[in-house]
Amino acid sequence: MDDAHARSVAEVLRFFRVDPTTGLTDYQISENGRIYGRNVLPQEGSTPFWKLVLKQFDDLLVKILIGAALVSFLLALIDGETGVTAFLEPSVILLILAANAAVGVITETNAEKALEELRAYQADVATVLRNGCFSILPATDLVPGDIVEVGVGCKIPADMRMIEMLSNQLRVDQAILTGESCSVEKVLESTVAANAVYQDKTNMLFSGTVVVGGRARAVVIGVGSNTAMGSIRDAMLRAEDEVTPLKKKLDEFGTFLAKVIAGICVLVWVVNIGHFRDPSHGGFLRGAIHYFKIAVALAVAAIPEGLPAVVTTCLALGTKRMARMNAIVRSLPSVETLGCTTVICSDKTGTLTTNMMSVSKICVVRSGRNDPTTDEYIVSGTTYAPEGVIFDSAGMKLEFPAQLPCLLHIAMCSALCNDSTLQYNPDKGTYEKIGESTEVALRVLAEKVGLPGFDSMPSALNMLSKHERASYCNHYWENQFKKVYLLDFSRDRKMMSVLCSQKQVKIMFSKGAPESIISRCTSVLCNDDGSSIPLNIDVQAELEARFQSFAGKETLRCLALAFKRIPLGQQAISFDDERDLTFIGLVGMLDPPREEVRNAMLSCMLAGIRVIVVTGDNKATAESLCCKIGAFDHSGDFAGCSYTASEFEELSALQKTMALQRMLLFSRVEPSHKRMLVEALQHQNEVVAMTGDGVNDAPALKKADIGIAMGSGTAVAKSASDMVLADDNFASIVAAVAEGRAIYNNTRQFIRYMISSNIGEVVCIFVAAMLGIPDTLVPVQLLWVNLVTDGLPATAIGFNKQDSDVMKAKPRKVSEAVVTGWLFFRYLVIGAYVGLATVAGFIWWFIYSENGPKLLYSELVNFDTCGTRETTYPCSIFDDRHPSTVSMTVLVVVEMFNALNNLSENQSLLVVPPWSNLWLVASIFLTMLLHVLILYVKPLSILFSVTPLSWADWTIVLYLSFPVIIIDEVLKFFSRNPRGFKLNFRFRRMDLLPKRELRDK
């Protein structure tokens, strides 16, 4: 029944054919169970393991590598190779791919726990009326039509419509569902609001929420998936995991690279068709196979096999640094996503605020002798911890608050006219409430005021254990006064009263809405001397003016406190006794903002990040908070910046688009609105981070580009998020954003390093094929260079220091390519030099080396006809391992120098010296040590087809390698000074990658 909130009690009962005095019969229970199903959230089937494995190989570069491995294996068999030689290259490639796939499978297997965590918010049992008798049954047995009784502390077992009130009122904490900071009063009357949201359905009890006051009966109207919790579950299922901007760019770059590689491989094979019949190959088919092997080697050289592992390692390093800042990352790619975040949709309650009601202001009457004057006090402390002090209007701390008559009576009334409990939880190390949050705020106030008659108060209270301190002063007053009779809060009176006795004195303490209390007062307690004076028109006007200021401008939730002496023999009180009261004071409370939020907001603005506050609370309260935290600092007018969910939905499509561009506050929302906001912003190409802590936030957290949950939040929110703030500190997000930006910069640097190195390998093989000289490098040598000598320095680049102005730049655009036109030109220049230097080392050994054959260049390029002509050297010289070893060593050393170039994208090595990143220096040293090992340790040298080098060989290696630093220094100079030379190399499109709409869903 979807519209139960709009129907009368009689209509709802008639729909389910249930008698409220007897409940359902056994037949009706069976029939309704068959029609509506069980009261459980269905378990979603997990993705089969084999599908997760296959998903990891759904990438064009990976498919090319698999194809290269298979082709390499088949060609080895065709050539008659057996044993280790035939399997070495394909085995290494497949091992790399298997390792990357394993990381992906583990990550995805551990990610989806939110749906299971959602079950924790379902009630275990319920008190149900069936066949005329009440019984306690498992909540899973409930069916629509069941009559259920609920009371204080009960977790609502299903969605229900109120049918009978068993106390003066019923209040429910709906924070996990709607984000409201205060509990909600429930009524029996139908809801008349059009397009009613959860907050408007005041006659409904929602599954998973908790009763904090009163007793009532209700009829079940929705179970399992047809509940508020069920709708959250469905929203989470519909939310597909968003691909991060970096992943999108790497995928695009991979596709682009794969197409280029395929084109070059085909080109190399085609241009050598004329050499297929060369006698050295032994026939056309074998010649074709030979050059096909070269094309495969080219593919292996061009594809950066280690790139996924290096990206993962760099992100993992970032997560360790962020963990030290209390930002715990659950999804590695989300680290980088923070760096390009443009909008943070922040939940208000519990994220920007403490989610703990706290008394912040007190107003009392000073004296009535002259003009009516009032005193205003400010109370510090924003949590349930009894820690805080009271300041007067001049900002002076009160040393002994309990010595002031009004503050003393406020503490007494707060402790006695109260049904809540405050206790210390040693496991969590926090103070926790049981009952209404406004009443707990009054208990905390009583603790801050302290006790009278002790000069050491309130400092002596700090000597107590936290368990004793939680309610020490409250217990003192409860021991001094015995509660005799209680008049519960009711909606018509808007107040509650309690009769207390102390020795020969009986006093009635009352608290309630200021308009109700003040209208019942005839006198007022003076704070100067503790006397009582008549409440005249002038005093009443001033009190009402203070109340309007508290409730209006400062949007505080106000309560007035009063007392009355009762005749000694009276044992009970009635509504008639709630007259001729003596006014004590006015208290204003709020869910206070966290102290560090304002500076965090300012940092976001400087970084070009817009913060949209999203809350289920009413508009006025939320706007007041936004003013306090600085969200509206740059805007004096709220128009166009603040919308309720219903106001936003009434806008036209064009008006919604314009509103989204200026919105800073979105109030009175429910879970579906949060998810809708995230989607709408994403359609405008915004990168959205969503923060939250409640069950209601989970669908939006899952849908956002990065979901950020609070450490003290619900398990559902944490499981649906990408990152958890252990300290619940909004300011930690700013530090995380800076880290994300730094990680992206380092990612660009090691991508630049790896791609320029791979371009060098491609140029090496391509030029060798074009010149007609022997193979400069064999595939296993290329794999060694790509994995070890490329991988270690690339990983160390991830330790590059964060730029000092990283948070002063605007967020980069989602459409910005990882590799821009000018940057790709630099790749080509460096890569071309790397390739040419590698080929030059190969040629040098044959023509100039003292240990080489000293051939003529024409003899080298015609090596394939060696067997058909007379020569002064044996043809076996072209199978010597020395030239390829020199080439491989040049390639390794030139890449080590190139790694130093990547300490900064544009800064010279004179500004950013090598020792600024000692990890990079260490990785270069380790890489060279490993390379020396394979050169001089015999089993390894045989495996990699290399041989030891002489000092003369090492000298030429250094001569050929070092110029790469000089070339990049020149390119960096033009990058820092873009006028002139660089303009001649501008591409028509600065983005070389294929253009694609990034927000296609």
DSSP 168-227: S-EEEE-HHHH--SS-EEE-SSPP--TT--GGG-TTEE-TT-EEEE--EEEEEEE-GGGS
Supply the mean pLDDT for the chain: 80
* Reported pTM: 0.62
| Backbone torsions φ then ψ of 734, nearest 5 degrees | -60, -45
What CA–CA distance (Å, rounded) separates 626 from 227?
A: 32
- Contact call for residues 427 and 406 (beta carbons, < 8 A): no
What CA–CA distance (Å, rounded) separates 118 from 46?
A: 16
Cα–Cα separations (whole angstroms), residue 922 to 293, 792, 903, 919, 961 = 36, 9, 14, 5, 19
Query: What is the structure's pLDDT at 867?
Result: 66
- Contact call for residues 499 and 484 (beta carbons, < 8 A): yes
Q: Where are the alpha helices (DSSP H) in 454-574?
A: 466-469, 472-480, 514-519, 537-548
The end-to-end CA distance of the chain, in Å, is 33
What CA–CA distance (Å, rounded) separates 691 from 122?
A: 24
Is there a catalytic annotation at residue 159? no
- HSE-up (13 A, CA, CB side) for residue 802: 17
Question: What single letter denotes the amino acid at residue 727?
Answer: D
Query: What is the structure's pLDDT at 319?
Result: 72
Structure tokens, 780: 């296993």
pLDDT tens digits along 918-970: 888 998 999 999 999 988 888 888 777 788 888 889 999 999 999 999 998 99
- Contact call for residues 975 and 983 (beta carbons, < 8 A): no
| Backbone torsions φ then ψ of 582, nearest 5 degrees | -105, 120
- Contact call for residues 804 and 323 (beta carbons, < 8 A): no
Cα–Cα separations (whole angstroms), residue 957 to 325, 435, 960 = 45, 78, 5
Query: What is the structure's pLDDT at 164?
Result: 92
Query: What is the structure's pLDDT at 405?
Result: 94
Query: What is the structure's pLDDT at 514?
Result: 93
pLDDT tens digits along 184-207: 889 998 887 777 878 888 899 998
Report how far Cα 40 is from the mean position of its chain's Cα atoms: 29
Catalytic one among 347, 577, 722, 953? 347
Query: What is the structure's pLDDT at 996?
Result: 36
pLDDT tens digits along 819-849: 667 777 887 898 899 989 999 999 998 888 8
Least Cα distance to 621 among 651, 574, 589, 586 occurs for 589
Strand (E) or helix (H) holding 585: strand 581-590
Residues sharing a CB contact under 8 Å with residue 314, sequence separation 6 or more, in sequence order: 743, 746, 747, 750, 795, 797, 798
| Backbone torsions φ then ψ of 511, nearest 5 degrees | -145, 150
Average pLDDT per 10 consecutive residues for the chain, totaling 1001 residues: 87 92 91 87 63 68 69 68 59 67 56 43 77 89 92 87 88 77 83 79 89 89 85 64 61 72 77 71 72 70 63 70 76 71 84 84 83 85 89 90 94 94 86 86 94 67 85 92 89 89 91 94 92 90 90 86 92 92 94 82 85 85 83 69 89 90 88 86 89 76 84 70 78 78 76 78 81 78 71 76 68 69 81 91 88 82 72 77 90 90 79 84 91 87 83 92 91 73 41 36 38
